[in-house]
Amino acid sequence: MTEITNITNRLYNLTALAVEYCNACETAGEMERSEFIDSMLDLLPRIYWEFFDISAEDMVSLEEFPEFSDYVDEDYYESIRRHIEVLLGPDDTFLETFEEDMKYSDTPIAASIAESLADLFQPLFNFASVVKDTEGERIVDAFMECKGEFENYWSQTLCNVLRALNHVKYKGGEE
């Protein structure tokens, strides 16, 4: 298998993983709490690894990519966040230790699992939508856009929410 084919296959597998994550978030209101948490604990480390492991140097095309329009509007984002928040109930809140304001605060800063998962949903949904809408022709561009967002923003969010979900599963009363 050529290196180009290998990278292309990995990008399509990553797209499938992003779609699986988005589907789990979209159907959170229909899932059992433990099923949803298990799904997130399965998907999040795999998503992190793939975005971490595939580099810009691996890409065949490093052309300048245009800004992509957002597929996730505010109402859709809020809908995803609310479904997860209701599903997790009082376990939705966790202490955010990496918040910049934490350095200057005497009180803990709370974060929301639902909001964090919705924050991850947005770039992953946009990535998968660009791939789908362009029938895979823009997969490299879509990946590069999402990878940049991963490095600059949502990789830390993913790590934080993974820690919080792990706590809910093993220490916080997940039944």
What is the secondary structure of 19-60 as a DSSP string? Answer: HHHHHHHHTGGGS-HHHHHHHHHHHHHHHHHHHHHS-GGG-S
Q: Is residue 175 part of a domain?
A: no
The predicted-structure confidence for 38-95, as pLDDT tens digits, reads as follows 999 999 999 999 999 988 777 754 344 445 556 778 888 898 988 999 988 888 888 7
Q: Please give the tally of structural domains in the chain.
A: 1
The predicted-structure confidence for 93-102, as pLDDT tens digits, reads as follows 887 765 555 5
Q: Which residues of 132-153 are buried (b: 16+ CB within 10 A; e: fewer)?
A: eeeeeebbbbbbbbbbebbeee
Q: Is residue 103 part of a domain?
A: yes
> Residue 96: which domain range?
3-170
The CATH number of residue 91's host domain is 1.20.120.1550
Q: Is residue 27 part of a domain?
A: yes
Q: Is residue 30 part of a domain?
A: yes
pTM: 0.80
pLDDT of residue 4: 65
Q: Is residue 156 part of a domain?
A: yes
Q: Is residue 11 part of a domain?
A: yes
